[in-house]
Amino acid sequence: MVKTNISELAIFGGSPAFKELLHVGRPNIGNREQFLKRVNEMFDQRRLSNNGPFMRELEQKLAAFLGVKHCITMCNATIALEITARALGLQGEVIIPSFTFVASAHALQWQEITPVFCDADPVTHNIDATKIEKLITSRTTGILGVHVWGRACDVDALSAIAHKHHLKLMFDAAHALACTHQGKMIGGFGDAEVFSFHATKFFNSFEGGAVTTNNDQLAARLRGMRNFGFAGLDNVVDIGTNGKMSEVSAAMGLTSLESLDKFIQINYENYLAYFRGLDGIPGIRLITYTETEKNNYQYIVMEIDEVAAGLSRDLLVTILHAENILARRYFYPGCHQMEPYRSYFPNAGMVLPETEKLTLKVLQLPTGTAVGKAEIDHVCGLIRFVLAHGAEIRKRYESQ
Ligand code: T4K
């Protein structure tokens, strides 16, 4: 039902705009028959994990798709980041953005590597390359760039800094499957890149991830490390862990790959629908994806300028949640404000001014194949209505 009076808002006792929850991150599911056929084959062959045929097929297909020499699948991107950090010999300090999902920082800290947080660029939301060099110390061994929302970070600048200071360079490409930088698929930059295939990503293998690299030696080490460091049946040659992708995940990955273009097309149409629906609302900016690069359009990211909009991002989130629209505040409050980092670096916010601002104004809206155009129009109409009555809503909310 379209709301015409603020009393009809669910925060003020009205009925929610949606009967069922509208999530950010509902999984895209490809052809079920194809997936189930693969699962049956898997049972027939009794190969459930460890270098199985589906895993090898997925690795070959992804490497070809990304134009990279090696693709090493893993059980998830967090473990893939950890294994890659170790395989690259990272230790001491590694520079990363604070404006990222906490897994990027945890993967380092879990290896007892200190993540040193760098500020974000307010326009691209990516690590601000101009602020990296000041953070380099004698303990710095690497840089971990994150391609936030699938938009490549400043790969050239990061590569130049890494080269100049003899640092390793890896990328968290969890958001960036099927995205390009200067026309080249993300996957082959730096020493290695790490993708996530988590259920909430537009391409999923239930849980899963992969490391891509053009370095033969590194690839061999990564393959060994994800399987306890084994090289042969009884021969352990390296410290390892269990980072293997299971066959059922690889079967899902192969099935998702067959629908990849369709998923991207739907995401793109949703992005355009949000763009039209939110056009011209004061205080709102949707982040854009340049048409000259490929993107997967899996994130609809909105910035709210509290002064121009008349209400804060957080009040808008409260309103939307009451309407059963589960918009998300990724990446609030920033890694540096989360434990253990908040305790380690209580004053980090002072050198992360842009990150602090971003974490207060960014909001993600539901998209993907589970969200239809009518729902998007409804969400946009509601946001338009709320922001047209921002000051009035805020006053009433604060007085109740
Ligand atoms: N680096 C970056 C930059 C990342 O963004 C991520 C993960 C990683 C590294 C690590 O990748 P992985 O180790 O996960 O492969 C989510 C995801 O768990 C996480 O993968 C993702 N980024 C992050 C941005 O978001 P949560 O805790 O917000 O997700 P969750 O499980 O609460 O799901 C969100 C919503 O999606 C739920 O409200 C309901 C819906 N949902 C979720 C699942 C799992 C479904 O409808 N069905 C489902 O099966 O972290």
Supply 117's token pair.
Answer: 């947080």
Distance (Å, rounded) from C-alpha 146 to C-alpha 97? Answer: 7
Residue 130 DSSP class? G
For ligand 1, which residues put their CB under 6 angstroms from it?
23-27, 76-78, 100-101, 103-104, 146, 172, 174-175, 196, 198-200, 209, 326, 330
**Predicted TM-score (pTM) of this structure:** 0.97
Nearest protein Cα to ligand 1, atom 36: 25
pLDDT computed for residue 400 by the predictor: 86
Which is nearest to 316 in space by CA: 374, 353, 363? 363
The predicted pLDDT at position 62 comes to: 98
**Helices 313-322 and 390-399, interaxial angle, to 10°?**
80
Are 73 and 55 spatial neighbours (Cβ–Cβ below 8 Å)? yes
Structural contact between residues 225 and 241, judged by C-beta atoms closer than 8 angstroms? yes
> Which residue of 101, 194, 330 sits with most ligand 1 atoms within 8 Å of its CB, as the best mutation to test the pocket?
101
Pocket test for ligand 1, best of 22, 98, 200 (most atoms within 8 A of CB): 200
At residue 238, the pLDDT reads 96
User: Counting Cβ atoms within 10 Å, is residue 235 exposed (0-12), middle (13-18) or buried (19+)?
Assistant: exposed
**Which residue in 100, 103, 82 sits closest to 91, CA to CA?**
82
What pLDDT does residue 314 have? 97
Atom of ligand 1 nearest to the CA of 201: 20
Residue 344, pLDDT score = 96
Atom nearest to 172 CA in ligand 1: 1
CA of 381 to the centre of ligand 1 (A): 27
Residue 266 falls in which region: left (phi positive, over 0), alpha (psi -120 to 50) or beta = alpha
* E strand or H helix that includes residue 213: strand 209-213
Burial class (CB in 10 A: 0-12, 13-18, 19+), 99: buried
| Pair of tokens at residue 260 | 């990849």
**Per-residue confidence of the chain (400 residues) as pLDDT tens digits?**
789 999 999 999 999 999 999 999 999 999 999 999 999 999 999 999 999 999 999 999 999 999 999 999 999 999 999 999 999 999 999 999 999 999 999 999 999 999 999 999 999 999 999 999 999 999 999 999 999 999 999 999 999 999 999 999 999 999 999 999 999 999 999 999 999 999 999 999 999 999 999 999 999 999 999 999 999 999 999 999 999 999 999 999 999 999 999 999 999 999 999 999 999 999 999 999 999 999 999 999 999 999 999 999 999 999 999 999 999 999 999 999 999 999 999 999 999 999 999 999 999 999 999 999 999 999 999 999 999 999 999 999 999 8
Specify the pLDDT at position 279: 94
**What span, in angstroms and rounded, lies between the C-alpha atoms of 174 and 327?**
20
